[in-house]
Structure 1
């Protein structure tokens, strides 16, 4: 699977001191009717439990120059401290969204399925915001950017 280039995103939920989030490279468009996205989250992470408790989450798509943020949310800091180094806003579903993301999705939890060490979250997309920039991808275990065509 190291040969499959994957987009890098931060999945987050909660408000103020209960914010939780993590870096993922397992975000997939699932269907258009209704619009849904599939996200894989390690079930031992605090974000997994927080998404189940809140019933909603945001997906912030990362771009060029956001490698440090991706690493911070991949394990550098913990809990709400992860959010300290970048500007965040609370979306219409009251989920954290990265202001300079190249795109964001706000999702209501539609379905959760445990599979091995992870939980698969299907989120029904209720709001989106586009942005600009070259996407950040994970390829061969390294963060890279792709130039827009």
Structure 2
């Protein structure tokens, strides 16, 4: 909408990155391990920047830091899995969120190949097997839009949540 006649448009100073990160630490989120396998190799990383986009077609959004060591695999492979973690996966999340070698990350849990061959965490709270439909680069991150092809679940009912730069648990309501 154009500014009112005679009024100067309002300008805002830029929000400092540290202030933004501190504010985002106050936004609780489910903890996920995003996995892939294919021509680009087997890879995985921990993420809280995951959300629903639409249910027609079922689509998730996943944010991946472009400086991450796994970017090449997620760029080359057409499929991925969003494995939502339960309370008992705290140590696994830390492995996938750090600099641990990929083989050690995957050796720390039980996985099975999903319909598209991607690693699915056997005891995940829920797993969304996806096809990468497209991606967009914004600032330091690549935003992945992931069409959901299959859903599996059956793990524990307490979710692992990240809030205030620490892990917490949340029991299922229902």
Question: Aligning the two structures, in what range does the TM-score lie when normalised by the shorter sequence?
Answer: over 0.9
Higher strand share: 1
1:64 pairs with 2:92: no
Query: Structure 1 residue aligned with 2:118, among 88, 92, 95?
Result: 95
SS of the aligned residue for 1:67 comes to: helix
Aligned length, in residue pairs = 148
Give the structure-2-normalised TM-score: 0.81
Hey, what does 1:108 align to over in structure 2?
131
Deviations 1:44-84 (A, max 9, x none): 22322211101110110001111000000001512232101
Q: Which has the higher contact order (CA 8 A, sep 6+)?
A: 1
SS of the aligned residue for 1:66 comes to: helix
Give the structure-1-normalised TM-score: 0.94
> How big is the alpha-carbon RMSD for the aligned residues of Structure 1 and Structure 2?
1.4
Higher alpha-carbon Rg = 2
1:43–1:49 contact (8 Å) kept in structure 2 = no
In structure 1, stretches of 5+ residues that fail to align are none
In structure 2, stretches of 5+ residues that fail to align are 1-23
Deviations 1:100-119 (A, max 9, x none): 10000111011110111110
1:1-149 alignment to 2 at 5 Å? 1-14=24-37, 18-132=41-155, 133-149=157-173
